[in-house]
């Protein structure tokens, strides 16, 4: 392993990619400490609000803060991280099969992909604006922001500056993520989310050590059991994440004999169909779909119209309350649905049955074309079911284990972190194999 790590630095361009990625993450963490201006009283109220782990507001803020890397608790300009962009990506993915123009963009290669990304970034701005309004309204409702009002001329400029800062912070992170994807290692957006999750790790370790020291031998045993369960969970995540069904494929070999092309014996290879082909994307999509309406409902709960206020309060208390079991059931269903959705989207983009037919390849026992497509789709449905159920169980595992407070999304955060790390290792693996080095997974 150490030899393989040292071999990275022997390749100048690979070393530059890694250093560039680390540099962008350093910039991101610096931005996370640039706070929206608050008075001392507002900062004190904000700190006390995040300690309310026994009510829906404290639970909600804990869920939001997990994926912001503590930026929300500081109310920094990157408090929303890249989640408005992820929500915009979900919207574009859902609209693509419906709107013909978006379908045409996906068929235009690199130019279409760039245009698709540009539209996604444009949609991110109004979504970030709505999330900023909802978050500020929530803080105003909890007496954190005392003078937030975009209509009152006395406070409009200050309020607009707060909203604009939050939107700008989100778009800067999107830009940094795209730079990492283009010039660094791994998917930039996923890397930023991973940095958010890992930035909270020292705090959780310190909390665990403090609890063990103050709780005696019983707390030490509980901490040890928790660590063992965590290791088993990580091993299970890696096992499912790397699991695949290998479908045999035969390619006919061709050789020239004089002026004629002769077909020789077939060469056998396989199609690696991943059990969890969607990776950690469904977890990110599901958490975004739940967090965004939660913030909007909190914003509407301050409305002066009685029926809107009552409806928003009912939704916050009864539908999107993270302390209730139906919230986690809905989260489970969202994860399963997004797993299938993203797996199908990725499968259609690869267009494997048509590519096999063009190359003259075939699956033994199945004719090229539609029979091969149906056979592969049946396999995809079966293995995706296992991956989707696994992701769903991991999502609701903390609630089943009665883990409260800010760590209710610990398993989901762990899954996302492991998935991002494995994806990044795979990219390093491919980069090193291209340069005739043995990879990390070999």
Query: For 125-156, how does the pLDDT look when each residue is reduced to its tens digit (9 = 90+)?
Result: 999 998 888 788 778 877 778 777 778 788 88
Residue 341 neighbours by CB distance under 10 Å: 17
pLDDT band for 409, please (50, 70, 90 cuts). Answer: very low
pLDDT score at 405 = 40
214 versus 391: the higher-pLDDT residue is 391
d(CA 55, CA 321): 9
pLDDT score at 145 = 80
% of the chain surpassing 70 pLDDT: 75
d(CA 203, CA 66): 11
d(CA 379, CA 385): 10
DSSP state string for 227-263:
HHHHHHHHHHHHHHHH-EEEEEEEEEEEEEETTEEEE
Determine the average pLDDT of the residues in 355-379: 83
DSSP state string for 109-163:
HHHHHHHHHHHHHHHHHHHHHHHHHHHHHHHHHTTSSSS--SSSTTTHHHHHHHH
Beta carbons within 8 Å of 182's beta carbon, 6+ residues apart: 188
Does the structure show a pLDDT above 90 at 27? yes
What average pLDDT is seen over the chain? 77
User: Hey, is 264 helix, strand or coil?
Assistant: strand
The pLDDT tens digits for 277-330 are 777 778 777 776 776 677 677 667 766 777 877 777 777 666 666 667 777 888
Q: Quick one: DSSP state of residue 406?
A: G
Cβ atoms 376, 365 nearer than 8 A: no
Determine the average pLDDT of the residues in 256-263: 52
The pLDDT tens digits for 327-349 are 788 888 888 888 888 888 778 77
What's the predicted TM-score (pTM) here?
0.74
d(CA 207, CA 223): 11
pLDDT score at 218 = 58
For 274, list phi and psi in degrees, rounded to 5. -70, 140
d(CA 283, CA 415): 8
pLDDT band for 47, please (50, 70, 90 cuts). Answer: confident
pLDDT score at 55 = 52
d(CA 182, CA 189): 11
Find which of 47-56, 192-201, 288-297, 315-324 is predicted with most confidence, using mean pLDDT.
192-201
Determine the average pLDDT of the residues in 246-260: 67
Determine the average pLDDT of the residues in 86-104: 81
20 versus 264: the higher-pLDDT residue is 20
Q: Which of 273, 274, 202, 205 is nearest to 238 (CA)?
A: 274
Q: Quick one: DSSP state of residue 380?
A: H
Cβ atoms 113, 28 nearer than 8 A: no
Q: Which of 64, 284, 31 is nearest to 173 (CA)?
A: 31
d(CA 124, CA 85): 5
The Cα angle at residue 72 between residues 296 and 181, in degrees rounded to 5: 95
213 versus 196: the higher-pLDDT residue is 196
Query: Encoding tokens for residue 266?
Result: 């077939």
């Amino acid at each position: 392993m150490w030899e393989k790590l040292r071999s990275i630095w022997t390749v100048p361009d690979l070393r530059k990619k890694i250093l560039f990625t680390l540099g962008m993450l350093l910039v991101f963490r610096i931005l996370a400490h640039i706070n929206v201006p608050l008075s001392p009283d507002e900062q004190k109220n904000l700190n006390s609000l995040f300690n309310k782990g026994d009510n829906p507001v404290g639970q909600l803020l804990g869920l939001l803060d997990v994926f912001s890397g503590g930026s929300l608790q500081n109310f920094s300009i990157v408090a929303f991280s890249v989640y408005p962009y992820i929500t915009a990506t979900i919207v574009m993915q859902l609209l693509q099969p419906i709107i013909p123009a978006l379908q045409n963009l996906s068929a235009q290669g690199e130019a279409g992909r760039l245009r698709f990304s540009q539209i996604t970034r444009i949609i991110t701005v109004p979504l970030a604006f709505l999330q900023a309004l909802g978050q500020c309204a929530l803080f105003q409702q909890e007496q954190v922001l005392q003078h937030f009002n975009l209509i009152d001329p006395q406070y409009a400029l200050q309020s607009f500056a707060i909203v604009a800062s939050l939107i700008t912070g989100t778009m800067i992170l999107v830009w940094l993520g795209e730079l990492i994807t283009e010039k660094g290692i791994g998917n930039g957006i996923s890397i930023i989310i991973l940095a958010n999750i890992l930035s909270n790790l020292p705090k959780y370790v310190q909390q665990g050590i403090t609890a063990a020291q103050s709780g005696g031998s019983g707390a030490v045993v509980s901490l040890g059991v928790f660590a063992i369960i965590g290791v088993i969970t990580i091993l299970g995540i890696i096992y499912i994440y790397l699991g695949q069904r290998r479908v045999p494929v035969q390619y006919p070999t061709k050789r020239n004999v004089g002026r004629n092309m002769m077909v020789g014996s077939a060469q056998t290879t396989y199609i690696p169909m991943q059990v969890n082909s969607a990776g950690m994307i469904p977890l990110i999509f599901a958490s975004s779909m739940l967090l965004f309406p939660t913030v909007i409902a909190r914003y509407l709960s301050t409305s002066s119209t009685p029926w809107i206020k009552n409806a928003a309060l009912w939704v916050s208390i009864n539908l999107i309350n993270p302390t209730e079991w139906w919230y986690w059931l809905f989260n489970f269903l969202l994860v399963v649905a997004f797993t299938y959705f993203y797996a199908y989207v990725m499968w259609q983009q690869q267009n494997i049955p048509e590519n096999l037919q063009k190359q003259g390849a075939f699956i033994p026992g199945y004719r090229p074309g539609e029979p091969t497509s149906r056979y592969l789709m049946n396999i995809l449905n079966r293995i995706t079911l296992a991956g989707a159920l696994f992701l769903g169980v991991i999502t609701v595992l903390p609630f089943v284990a009665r883990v409260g407070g800010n760590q209710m999304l610990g398993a989901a955060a762990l899954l996302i972190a492991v998935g991002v790390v494995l994806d990044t290792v795979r990219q390093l693996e491919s980069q090193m194999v291209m340069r005739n080095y043995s990879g990390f997974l070999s």
